[in-house]
């Protein structure tokens, strides 16, 4: 019997409330301070579909990811880093233009019109 | 299952063992074979090559190599968390730690290797680790949380990767290397020295020629390392990365032939001394060599699977290329072929650039006609090209030195992708040849890089070959005459011109509506700004209004130009370059108040740089109060209309060029276009305003104005052409209105007027007919569109600082008022400038957390 061995248990995530969903204009991003990290949060369309990645852009070495343009490549949701325009997949953080590079991703959700980020993913041991 | 099938047991479910199973399935083994594998680790095969990303942002699930359902769907039996402990070659049986016993027809050892821990006293103390599995990384991560300092023993490829990982966990990191230099196997002394500087630049301290004699613990906790030279280093944890050793204990136990220093001996078919048993991957020894990279392991899996299935075309394993490229962000290192010039007669040439921090060495054959190997440190961009030159034994250009120091033009002639044979291996990680790429491009009609990567796997390993893969694609497409279509992007099957037409005819006022009617998907960074610009030049709504804000490039989104450190520059409009002393003083005061770097631009205005995103509206509030407007330096829009002093002061001037420049700048300010628009007005033929280098330029004559169009400075300067002579002001403005709107309607995205003109069928004659003769009968319409723009113009910054909602967006954090803590500056010539990376290291020692990227 083969099963994927998962190392995360869904319930262990601790959620931090960041802002109202309205604070993120449709199809844009905002940057949030979560603990000691800068987290870019993106909203897809008018919906409550949100994704979170690290705000650090490894190519320009600046904290600007939240200011990128969101969109898709062949249906894969992504954000283009604003300074040198490299694309990162929103769901995985993988750089679509350079497979050796990834940025961190964080669990994100909307509860009662409030955007929340899962903070435990990176402190999990 | 019917008994007629044979049973294959694969011991070890690592990268290579799993690849073998995939290949067996792909080659149609299932109707003749039962496949069984034993997996010692608590999870099925994962991508060990990218293991370090587990510390960055990948979960164990992300790293898995096993497609969901692969084992179940193909009926492959996997024993997770169970290790084979014994092989009985006579009975052809294996026994596992959990007591499972299986009889095999064929057995494959894919047990990999284990990290070598040097025999140092105290090497098993609490706080010592190795770096090989996800479990190892979990242990390191947990322990790092209560540690401050971490040491990596071993300065090879893996050691440096590991050091980078410790650094990302926030530890003060040291590398201790026994040899006198880093990466001693791949690099020579000069290369090692440059690399050392680079690594130290990353904030990792490097200690070479250090022999560790003792690891000392105090109160059960690791405390320090003692070296043979009597020095010592305090540390909380140690990770050993001092090489690998093949896992050959099973083979040893059942008496298979081993190498002198370990490793299961195999032949060209990957068979061991017992023909029923194969060995592949890092446990295998071929001609006295262990191959510690994944590509040779994959090659062995290819060979073994062919052989197991008795395929008539079975390949042979004859050794493998051990070229390597370090995959650390920010440090380029590559080493390939005969890097130490050991071939008889080989000659080496090397170039060190201590300023740029690069070292490049090439090893060539006796007459310098062929490349044998090389080393690149600090800049490995040439790696792909050089590797191809070497592997395909291609003739080198006259002087090999020109490969290292490209002459002023280009040296790519030595390696045109078309000269490569089809057998040339482009991607060594996944063994993909040029021929295979071409075939995929042809047969599957592939026209873009991501699809090509997905279909062939090329470029999905270390990524080093991606530029070459792209070259192959471009060259093949060109050859097959595939019309590189003029579609805006994958979301709109139209050119910009067609889309502009659809947008105006359909009176479409938002991106969403245009996408719904004429496009697909969500859009991207190409179509969104383009459509944003078309909407703005057609309907002139504020670019930060809710439906449009997400379309704007970061410059437009924050109405300022982004700079290399993520801050912005502020360029207020100074029409015609004319400015009162009061306003000049006001600019100085704002710059002083917000501590901005100040510079006169090349276009007669003043740039204030280094403004943080949350400062922008405050700065603009002040500027708007003092009567300044947005200069649109950030937009694909009208920039400036430069002027000279003209007849008012200049003894040669024949018309008032300054007044005209100001009038024109105010007329066209805020006009968004396919690319930026620049203009100038000169007061006489001496042309001090450089009008003939502008998109539209005007030169005064005794009788009026001469109008020039489609000039360009910048990357590819082009003289403007004379469209009409001796015009009065009204006619001049009429012509310019028509010209600009015609350009806006018909140009491609990011096409300056000069390039647009060069492609315009009918050239100058046609342009004259449309603009002057109104041959298309659209002159009224063009003028009306411009008049609409003029009437609806508003200063974007004024509207922004007056709107609480728009101001709200100008914050670095949505959930606090804190400023970006990563910014760092130093003083130069009495002003601030962004700190360089080296300077930041020093400055940051006093700061922490938010200034380093999240891990
Ligand atoms: C600030 C300034 C340099 C300076 O310190 O003098 C400048 C700065 C930049 N120029 Fe320029 N250019 C500046 C005058 C010029 C000029 C001179 C002029 O306008 O008279 C030229 C040649 C004239 C021309 O455009 O034909 C010029 C030709 C370019 C080009 C090449 C355009 C071309 O078609 O060849 C680019 C690249 C591009 O636009 O694609 C460019 C791009 C840029 C960018 C936007 C590069 C970037 O993407 O960051 C720089 C923005 C920096 C910033 O945020 O301020 N800049 N640039 C000048 C701003 C003028 C202003 O007041 O608005
Ligand atoms: C951090 C790191 C970075 C690397 N970077 C690169 C790189 O950039 N490029 C590159 O080419 N290579 C790289 N490598 C090397 C690459 O990962 C290996 O070459 C590759 O994993 C070898 O595959 P393998 O299947 O032979 O061994 P492994 O992937 O190690 O798999 C062997 C498996 O067999 C299991 N096993 C052993 N004995 C038994 C037993 N008796 N019963 C059951 N199971 C058993 C082991 O637990 C292990 O899971 C890197 C390695 C590491 C650790
Ligand atoms: S010339 Fe280059 S570096 Fe200088 S301002 Fe223009 S774009 Fe920037
Ligand atoms: S060579 Fe490594 S991905 Fe192609």
Closest-CA distance of chain B to residue A50, Å: 14
Task: Assess whether the C-beta atom of B404 lies below 6 angstroms from ligand 4.
Answer: no
DSSP helix/strand/coil, B278: strand
Q: Cβ contact (<8 Å) for A105 and B459?
A: no
Asked if B61 has any chain A CB less than 8 Å from its own CB, the reply is: yes
Each residue's pLDDT tens digit, B206-217: 999 999 999 999
On whether residue A109 sits in a domain, the answer given is: yes
Query: pLDDT higher for A105 or B410?
Result: A105
| CA A98/CA B760 separation, integer angstroms | 37
On whether residue A35 sits in a domain, the answer given is: yes
Q: Cβ contact (<8 Å) for B59 and A32?
A: no
Q: What CATH code is carried by the domain that includes residue A76?
A: 2.102.10.10
Say which residues have a Cβ less than 8 Å from residue B4's Cβ, sequence separation at least 6. Answer: none
The domain total for chain A is 1
Q: How many CB atoms lie within 10 A of CB B600?
A: 9
| Cross-strand bridge partners of residue A108 | A117
| CA B842/CA B89 separation, integer angstroms | 62
The pLDDT value recorded for residue A5 is 32
The pLDDT value recorded for residue B142 is 94
- Shortest CA distance to A102 belongs to which of B677, B614, B59, B592? B59
By the 8 A CB rule, do B337 and B383 touch?
no
The pLDDT value recorded for residue B707 is 97
By the 8 A CB rule, do B746 and B756 touch?
yes
Vertex B128: Cα angle to B126 and B129 (nearest 5): 130
| CA B264/CA B214 separation, integer angstroms | 33
Task: Assess whether the C-beta atom of B464 lies below 6 angstroms from ligand 4.
Answer: yes
Say which residues have a Cβ less than 8 Å from residue B162's Cβ, sequence separation at least 6. Answer: B52, B131, B152, B239, B241
Look at residue B415 and tell me whether its pLDDT is greater than 90. Answer: no
Residue of A nearest to B460 (CA): A99
Q: Cβ contact (<8 Å) for B450 and A96?
A: yes
pLDDT (mean) for B454-460: 86
pLDDT (mean) for B632-654: 95
Burial B432-467 (b: 16+ CB within 10 A, else e): bbbbbbbebbeeeebeebbbbbeebebbbbbbbbbe
On whether residue A26 sits in a domain, the answer given is: yes
Asked if A9 has any chain B CB less than 8 Å from its own CB, the reply is: no
Vertex A65: Cα angle to A63 and A70 (nearest 5): 170
The pLDDT value recorded for residue B329 is 59
Classify residue B259 as exposed, middle or buried by CB count within 10 Å of its CB (0-12, 13-18, 19+).
middle
Confidence of residue B703 (pLDDT cuts 50, 70, 90): very high
What are phi and psi for residue B580, nearest 5 degrees? -80, 155
On whether residue A11 sits in a domain, the answer given is: yes
pLDDT (mean) for B627-637: 95
Question: Which residues lie with the beta carbon below 6 Å from any ligand 1 atom?
Answer: B 561, 563, 569, 571, 599, 601-603, 605, 607, 633, 639-640, 676, 678, 712-716, 752
Nearest CB to B57; choose among A72, A75, A105: A105
Each residue's pLDDT tens digit, B172-195: 999 999 999 999 888 899 899 999
- To test the contact with chain A by mutation, choose from B46, B546, B566 the residue with the greatest count of A C-beta atoms within 10 A, namely B566
pLDDT (mean) for B501-514: 89
Look at residue B739 and tell me whether its pLDDT is greater than 50. Answer: yes
Sign of CA dihedral B208, B214, B217, B222: positive
Confidence of residue B400 (pLDDT cuts 50, 70, 90): confident
Residue of A nearest to B139 (CA): A125
DSSP state of A87: E
- Shortest CA distance to B78 belongs to which of A70, A119, A4? A4
The pLDDT value recorded for residue B849 is 40
Q: What is the CA radius of gyration of chain B?
A: 34
* Chain-centroid distance, C-alpha B393: 30
The pLDDT value recorded for residue B416 is 65
Nearest CB to B814; choose among A23, A67, A103: A23
For the domain bounded by B323-415, which CATH number is listed? 3.30.390.30
Which structure tokens are listed for B809?
């967006």
| CA B334/CA B320 separation, integer angstroms | 17
H or E stretch at B138: helix B134-144
Q: Which residue's structure tokens are 């290329």?
A: B321
Q: B677: CA distance to ligand 1 center in Å?
A: 11
The pLDDT value recorded for residue B367 is 85
| Alpha helix positions (H), B232-345 | 249-253, 294-308
Confidence of residue B654 (pLDDT cuts 50, 70, 90): very high
Q: Which ligand is nearest to the CA of B388?
A: 4
Strands of B616-711, DSSP E: 638-643, 677-682, 696-701, 704-709
The pLDDT value recorded for residue B850 is 43
Look at residue B277 and tell me whether its pLDDT is greater than 90. Answer: yes
A-contacting residues of B 202-261, CB under 8 Å?
Answer: none
| CA B186/CA B178 separation, integer angstroms | 15
On whether residue A123 sits in a domain, the answer given is: no
By the 8 A CB rule, do B21 and B9 touch?
no
Each residue's pLDDT tens digit, B590-613: 999 999 999 999 999 999 999 999
How does strand B677-682 pair with strand B696-701?
Answer: parallel
Query: pLDDT higher for B497 or B710?
Result: B710
Confidence of residue B389 (pLDDT cuts 50, 70, 90): confident
For the domain bounded by B2-114+246-308, which CATH number is listed? 3.50.50.60
The pLDDT value recorded for residue B16 is 97
The pLDDT value recorded for residue B410 is 40
- Shortest CA distance to B270 belongs to which of B87, B7, B17? B17
Question: Could you tell me what percent of chain B has a pLDDT over 70?
Answer: 95
B-chain residues near A98 (CB < 8 A): 463, 466
Nearest CA to ligand 2 atom 29: B14
B-contacting residues of A 106-125, CB under 8 Å?
Answer: 122, 125
CA atoms within 13 A on the CB side of B808: 15
Confidence of residue A6 (pLDDT cuts 50, 70, 90): very low
Nearest CB to A74; choose among B450, B815, B849: B450
By the 8 A CB rule, do B607 and B571 touch?
yes
pLDDT (mean) for B121-150: 95
- Shortest CA distance to A66 belongs to which of A77, A56, A76? A56
Q: B469: CA distance to ligand 4 center in Å?
A: 9
Task: Assess whether the C-beta atom of B110 lies below 6 angstroms from ligand 2.
Answer: yes
* Chain-centroid distance, C-alpha B778: 46
Q: How many CB atoms lie within 10 A of CB A4?
A: 13
The pLDDT value recorded for residue B375 is 92
Q: Parse chain B into domains and list their residue ranges.
A: 2-114+246-308, 117-242, 323-415, 418-475, 496-518+525-557, 635-797
| CA B704/CA B721 separation, integer angstroms | 17
Nearest CA to ligand 2 atom 11: B293
The pLDDT value recorded for residue B504 is 84
> Which region holds residue B750: left if phi is over 0, alpha if psi is between -120 and 50, else beta?
left
Instruction: Output helix, strand, coil percentages for chain B, rounded to the nearest 5.
Output: 35, 20, 45
Q: Cβ contact (<8 Å) for A2 and B564?
A: no
Each residue's pLDDT tens digit, B814-825: 999 999 988 999
Q: Which of B104-118, B378-392, B548-562 has the lowest mean pLDDT?
A: B378-392
- B418-475 is a CATH 1.10.10.1100 domain: yes
Confidence of residue B409 (pLDDT cuts 50, 70, 90): very low
Say which residues have a Cβ less than 8 Å from residue B69's Cβ, sequence separation at least 6. Answer: none
Task: Assess whether the C-beta atom of B458 lies below 6 angstroms from ligand 4.
Answer: yes
Each residue's pLDDT tens digit, A59-117: 889 999 999 999 999 899 999 999 888 999 999 999 998 888 999 999 999 999 999 99
Atom number in ligand 2 closest to CA B16: 25
Task: Assess whether the C-beta atom of B752 lies below 6 angstroms from ligand 2.
Answer: no
The pLDDT value recorded for residue B835 is 92
Which structure tokens are listed for B40?
């010692």
The pLDDT value recorded for residue B805 is 85
The pLDDT value recorded for residue B395 is 82
Which structure tokens are listed for B416?
């045109």
Classify residue B675 as exposed, middle or buried by CB count within 10 Å of its CB (0-12, 13-18, 19+).
buried
Q: Which residue's structure tokens are 């403007």?
A: B720
On whether residue A125 sits in a domain, the answer given is: no
- B117-242 is a CATH 2.160.10.10 domain: no
Each residue's pLDDT tens digit, B320-359: 877 777 766 568 888 898 988 888 988 888 888 878 888 9
| CA B545/CA B223 separation, integer angstroms | 60
Which structure tokens are listed for A75?
């249906």
Q: Cβ contact (<8 Å) for A67 and B562?
A: yes
**pTM of the predicted protein model:** 0.53
> Of B22-31, B417-426, B489-498, which one has max mean pLDDT?
B22-31
- B635-797 is a CATH 3.50.50.60 domain: no
| Cross-strand bridge partners of residue B827 | B832
Asked if A4 has any chain B CB less than 8 Å from its own CB, the reply is: yes
Look at residue A12 and tell me whether its pLDDT is greater than 80. Answer: no
Confidence of residue B855 (pLDDT cuts 50, 70, 90): very low
DSSP helix/strand/coil, B33: strand
Q: Cβ contact (<8 Å) for B850 and A31?
A: no
> Of B364-368, B693-697, B753-757, which one has max mean pLDDT?
B693-697
Nearest CB to B450; choose among A5, A73, A104: A73
A107: containing domain: 2-118
| Cross-strand bridge partners of residue B64 | B46
pLDDT (mean) for B156-166: 91
How does strand B106-109 pair with strand B277-279?
Answer: parallel
Q: B338: CA distance to ligand 4 center in Å?
A: 20
Q: What is the mean pLDDT of chain B?
A: 90
């Amino acid at each position: 019997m083969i099963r994927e061995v998962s190392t995360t248990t869904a319930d262990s995530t601790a959620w931090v409330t960041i802002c109202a969903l309205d604070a993120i204009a449709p199809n844009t991003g905002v940057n949030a301070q979560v603990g000691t990290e800068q987290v870019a949060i993106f909203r897809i369309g008018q919906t409550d579909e949100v994704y979170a990645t690290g705000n650090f852009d490894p190519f320009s070495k600046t904290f600007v990811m939240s200011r990128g343009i969101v969109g898709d490549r062949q249906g894969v949701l992504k954000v283009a880093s604003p300074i040198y325009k490299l694309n990162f997949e929103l769901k995985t953080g993988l750089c679509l233009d350079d497979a050796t590079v990834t940025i961190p991703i964080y669990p994100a959700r909307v509860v009662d019109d409030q955007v929340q980020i899962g903070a435990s993913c990176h402190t999990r041991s | 299952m019917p008994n007629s099938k044979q049973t294959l047991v694969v011991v070890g479910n690592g990268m290579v063992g799993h690849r073998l199973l995939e290949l067996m399935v792909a080659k149609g083994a299932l109707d003749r074979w039962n496949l069984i594998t034993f997996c010692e680790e608590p999870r099925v095969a994962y991508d060990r090559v990218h293991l370090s990303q587990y510390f960055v942002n990948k979960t164990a699930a992300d790293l898995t190599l096993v497609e969901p359902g692969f084992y179940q769907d193909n009926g492959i039996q996997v024993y997770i968390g169970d290790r084979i402990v014994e092989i009985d070659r006579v009975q052809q049986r294996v026994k596992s730690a959990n007591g499972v016993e299986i009889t095999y027809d064929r057995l494959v050892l894919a047990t990999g290797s284990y990290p070598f821990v040097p025999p140092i006293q105290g090497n098993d103390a609490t706080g010592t680790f190795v770096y090989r599995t996800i479990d190892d990384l979990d242990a390191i991560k947990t322990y790092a949380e209560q540690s401050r300092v971490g040491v990596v023993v071993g300065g090879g490829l893996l050691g440096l990767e590991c050091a980078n990982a410790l650094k990302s966990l926030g530890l003060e990191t040291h590398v201790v290397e026994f040899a006198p230099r880093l990466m001693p196997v791949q690099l020579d002394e000069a290369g090692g020295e440059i690399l050392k500087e680079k690594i130290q630049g990353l904030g990792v301290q490097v200690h070479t020629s250090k022999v560790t004699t003792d690891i000392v613990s105090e109160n059960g906790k690791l405390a320090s390392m003692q070296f043979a030279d009597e020095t010592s280093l305090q540390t909380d944890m140690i990770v050993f990365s001092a090489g690998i050793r093949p896992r050959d204990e099973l083979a040893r136990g059942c008496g298979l032939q081993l190498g002198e220093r370990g490793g299961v001996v195999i032949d060209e078919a990957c068979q061991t001394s017992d023909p029923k048993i194969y060995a592949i991957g890092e446990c295998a020894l071929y001609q006295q060599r262990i191959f510690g990279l994944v590509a040779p392991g994959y090659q062995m899996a290819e060979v073994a699977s062919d052989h197991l299935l008795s395929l008539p075309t079975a390949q042979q394993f004859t050794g493998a290329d051990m070229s390597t490229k370090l995959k650390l962000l920010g440090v380029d290192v590559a080493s390939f072929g005969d890097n130490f010039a050991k071939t008889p007669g080989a000659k080496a040439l090397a170039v060190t650039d201590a300023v740029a921090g690069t070292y490049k060495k090439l090893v060539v054959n006796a007459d310098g006609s062929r490349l044998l190997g090389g080393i690149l440190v600090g800049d490995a961009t040439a790696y792909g090209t050089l590797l191809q030159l070497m592997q395909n034994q291609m003739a080198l250009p006259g002087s090999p030195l020109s490969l290292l120091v490209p002459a002023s033009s280009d040296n790519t002639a030595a390696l045109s992708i078309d000269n490569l044979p089809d057998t040339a291996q482009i991607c060594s990680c996944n063994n993909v040849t040029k021929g295979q790429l071409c075939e995929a491009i042809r047969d599957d009609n592939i026209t873009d890089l991501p699809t090509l990567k997905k279909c062939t796997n090329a470029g999905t390993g270390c990524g080093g070959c991606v530029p070459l893969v792209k070259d192959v694609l471009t060259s093949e497409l060109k050859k097959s005459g595939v019309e590189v279509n003029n579609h805006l992007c994958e979301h709109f099957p139209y050119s910009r011109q067609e889309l502009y037409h659809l947008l105006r005819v359909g009176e479409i006022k938002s991106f969403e509506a245009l996408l719904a009617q004429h496009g697909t998907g969500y859009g991207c960074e190409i179509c969104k700004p383009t459509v944003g610009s078309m909407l703005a030049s057609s309907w002139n709504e504020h670019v930060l209004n809710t439906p449009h804000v997400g379309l704007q490039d970061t410059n437009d989104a924050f109405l300022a130009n982004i700079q290399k450190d993520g801050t912005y520059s502020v360029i207020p409009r100074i029409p015609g370059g004319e400015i009162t002393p009061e306003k000049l003083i006001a600019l100085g005061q704002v710059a002083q108040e917000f501590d901005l770097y100040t510079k006169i631009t090349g276009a007669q205005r003043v740039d204030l740089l280094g403004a943080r995103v949350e400062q922008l509206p405050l700065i603009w509030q002040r500027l708007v109060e003092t009567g300044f407007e947005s200069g649109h330096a950030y937009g694909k829009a009208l920039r400036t209309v430069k002027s000279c002093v003209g007849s008012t002061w200049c003894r040669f001037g024949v018309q008032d060029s300054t007044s005209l420049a100001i009038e024109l700048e105010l007329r066209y300010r805020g006009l968004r276009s396919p690319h930026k628009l620049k203009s100038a007005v000169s007061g006489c033929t001496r042309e001090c305003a450089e009008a003939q280098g502008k998109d539209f330029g005007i030169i005064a004559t005794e009788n009026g104005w001469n109008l020039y169009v489609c000039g360009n400075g910048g990357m590819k300067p082009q003289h403007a052409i004379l469209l009409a002579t001796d015009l009065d002001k009204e006619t001049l403005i009429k012509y310019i209105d028509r010209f600009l709107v015609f350009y806006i309607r018909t140009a491609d995205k990011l096409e300056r007027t000069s390039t647009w003109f060069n492609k315009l069928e009918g050239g100058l004659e046609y342009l004259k007919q449309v603009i002057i003769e109104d041959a298309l009968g659209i002159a009224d319409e063009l003028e009306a569109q411009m008049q609409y723009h003029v009437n609806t113009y508003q200063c974007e910054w004024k509207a922004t600082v007056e709107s609480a909602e728009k101001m709200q967006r100008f914050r670095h954090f949505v959930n606090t008022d804190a400023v970006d803590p990563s910014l760092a500056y130093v003083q130069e010539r009495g002003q601030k400038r962004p700190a360089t990376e080296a300077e930041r290291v020093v400055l940051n020692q006093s700061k922490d957390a938010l200034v380093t990227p999240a891990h």
